[in-house]
Structures are given as C-alpha cells and as structure tokens.
Structure 1
Amino acid sequence: MNQDQAAAVTADTQLEKTRARYGLLAVIASNLAIVIVAIIGVWRLDGDKSVIVGILTAAFTAVSSMTTAYLGIKAVSNTAKSLALGPAAGRAAGSAAPSGGTGPASGA
C-alpha cells in the first residue's frame, strides 16, 4: 500500500468515525428531547393515570424505535462496507504476505 492509499484509508476511517459520533449524538439528543417532553407532559397532567400511561408508553416506543433504527442502519452500513471492501482488502493482505513455499501445504 502506498502513501496515497494509506492517506485515503485514514481519511475514510476518520470520516466514518465522525459520522458515527454525530449520528449517535443526534440519537441521544432526540431521545433526551423525547424524555424531557414526556416528563413535562406527566408533570402537567397532575395524576391522570390513564393519560400518563399513554404518554410513557408513547415515549418508550419512540425512544426504542429511534435507537433500534440507528443501530440497524449502522449495522447494515458496516456490513455493506465490509462486503464491498472484502476482496480489495484480501488482495492487499495477500500481496503483503511472503510468497515462499515453506508452508505445510507446499509439500516441502
């Protein structure tokens, strides 16, 4: 791997870290907003139990859906990237390996 390829890999890695960091930050911020609105809603209802249960259920559903969606999209994205880079990464690793016939499969 030459310097240009190494710089591109480093830049891609840094970009992925930045995307993951800010994506997670967005999910956490929106989850906190949902929790704050739910707390304010429960506080303002002054003990109406059926409505409080509805608000808490909706808040829990929203938080879990948001978090699950982010983690699912991130997992699929990582899998797709590793599949796309798999053969190229294998060729790069194979070219760095020694090509001598001294292994157990060489018959020597």
Structure 2
Amino acid sequence: MTETQLEKVRARYGLLAVVISNVAIAAVAIVGVWQLDGDKSVIVGILTAAFTAVSSMTTAYLGIKAVSNTAKSIALGQQSAALNAAPPAAAAPPAAAPPAQRTS
C-alpha cells in the first residue's frame, strides 16, 4: 500500500468515526428530549451539551487533519526543493604558481 493510499484510508476512517459519533450524540439527544415532556431547562441543557460535543469533535478532527496536511505539504515541498536544488559547484583547485627563475 502506497503512502497516498494509506493517507486516504486514514482520512476515510477518521471521518467515518466522527460522523458515527456525531450521529450517536444526536440520537441520544433526540431520545433524551423526547423522553422529557415539558421541562424546558433540562431540554436546553441536553441540546446545549449535544451541540457542544458535536461541534468540538468535528472541529478537532478538521483541525488535526488540516495541520497534518499542512505539515505533509511543507515536508514534501522541502524535500522536492532539496532534490531540485543544483549541486554546489566543485571548487577549482588553486592554480600552480610558476616556478621561480634563478639568476646566476
């Protein structure tokens, strides 16, 4: 499995986990509200808690995914820049000095 395929599988299962969790929270909130006939303060508390849980879980997933994608893009950008950079020019050896002439 290539790195790209692995990343797609991770993203799918992460998103699936968040969606299933959000549906479960919504179902529990609906059942809780349905069972309570008339007590408005408890209904508001249940709905507030459910909304907070769903929004924070979704935000956390999207935030982590965004940071992960950004870090991966930066790493790939640096790697490709290093591969595309021209190798440093080899330093030319110093020229030999001409032999000194003797006068006799």
List alignment gaps of at least 5 residues for structure 1.
1-9, 96-108
List alignment gaps of at least 5 residues for structure 2.
87-104
CA RMSD of aligned residues (A): 1.8
Length-normalised TM-score, structure 1: 0.73
Larger radius of gyration: 2
Length-normalised TM-score, structure 2: 0.76
- What amino acid is the match of 1:40? V
- What amino acid is the match of 2:9? T
- Among the aligned pairs, what percent are the same residue? 76
Matched, 1:11 2:2: yes
Moved over 3 A (4+): 90-95
Work out which of the residue numbers 32, 45, 50 in structure 1 matches 2:41.
50
How many pairs align? 86
Instruction: Please identify which structure carries the higher helix content.
Output: 1
Question: Which 10-residue stretch deviates more, 59-68 or 40-49?
Answer: 40-49
**Cα deviation, residue 91, structure 1:** 4.7
SS in 2 for 1:56: helix
